[in-house]
Amino acid sequence: MSIQGSVHVLAFDVFGTVVDWHGSITREVEALGLGIDGAEFALAWRAGYKPAMQRVMAGQQGWTLLDDLHLGILDEVLVQFGVTSLTEEQKHDLNKAWHRLDPWPDAVEGLRRLKQRFTLCTLSNGNLGLLANMAKRAGLPWDCILGAEVFRQYKPHPDTYLGVARVFDVAPAMVMMVAAHQNDLDSARSFGLKTAYIERPLEFGAANTKDVSASPANDFHATSLADLADQLGC
């Protein structure tokens, strides 16, 4: 059977794959007029994300939603950039910038086309409220929002990838992970999921273009979600 025929569920990484976190956070930080480089601030904020998750995964910190991890990192990055002028309210509002990330230009239309044929879910380390608010604002037509908060584990824990298959009561090979990150796809593949890579060369901004070369290990390699829809015959 073709992959198009055997895959029922597409599970999407979100940050970087569907939405442009770097451009959106840069925009929000610049709008505050703090006299700092928004693009550098965005990179620093995002750079704190993996170490923060790893503290939770190593058991040094109890289960924590991404919103709360983001807020802790924000405190550190504000100090690092010498910003002392934000009120608590402004800080909490800035933290919610992660709920207001803009989709890449091809994302909404690509998802709409893919949705005609597949069940679309998120598989993100973002918390449910963040992902739902983002989807409502951006018009992302998910059939179901899944992620770390549902499985009580962050990617790349097996419970997340295999959790999607369990939620939909299908074999892992009937789920295809769609992501702009090879390590996410490598993990998904190791648990039996199919994989599709999406090129997002500008994920870290125009000053830091990313290697988006194809890996033969993936089932699909696409330049955009619209291209993936084309390749899947949607």
Question: Taking the CA of residue 53 as centre, how many other CA atoms within 13 Å lie in the half-sphere pointing to its CB?
Answer: 19
Cα torsion angle, 186, 162, 179, 41, sign: negative
Near its own copies in 1-60, by CB under 8 A: none
Q: Looking at beta carbons only, is 133 or 224 nearer to its own copies?
A: 133
Question: Smallest gap, in angstroms, from Cβ of residue 88 to its own copies?
Answer: 15
| 144 binds its own copies, rule: CB under 8 A | yes
Contact partners, residue 107, CB within 8 Å, separation at least 6: 18, 19, 138, 140, 225
Q: Looking at beta carbons only, is 88 or 169 nearer to its own copies?
A: 169
Q: Looking at beta carbons only, is 77 or 146 nearer to its own copies?
A: 146
Which of 55, 57, 102, 129 binds its own copies (CB under 8 A)? It is 129
Please give the helix or strand (H or E) that residue 66 lies within, else none.
helix 66-80
Question: Smallest gap, in angstroms, from Cβ of residue 121 to its own copies?
Answer: 7
DSSP state of 19: B
Contact partners, residue 2, CB within 8 Å, separation at least 6: none
- What number of chain residues touch its own copies (CB under 8 A)? 20
DSSP-derived secondary structure for 195-226: EEEE--TTTT-GGG-------TTSSEEESSHH
- Within 10 angstroms of residue 81's Cβ, the number of other Cβ atoms is 17
Per-residue contact string for residues 156-185; x = within reach of its own copies by CB under 8 A: -----------xxx----------------
| 143 binds its own copies, rule: CB under 8 A | yes
Question: Smallest gap, in angstroms, from Cβ of residue 150 to its own copies?
Answer: 6
Q: Looking at beta carbons only, is 67 or 227 nearer to its own copies?
A: 67
DSSP-derived secondary structure for 94-140: HHGGGGSPPBPTTHHHHHHHHHTTSEEEEEESS-HHHHHHHHHHHT-
**Interacting span for its own copies (CB under 8 A) from 49-57, 103-111, 120-128, 193-201:** 120-128
Which of 128, 162, 173, 234 binds its own copies (CB under 8 A)? It is 128
Binding site for its own copies (CB under 8 A): 67, 119, 121, 127-129, 131-133, 135-136, 143-146, 149-150, 167-169
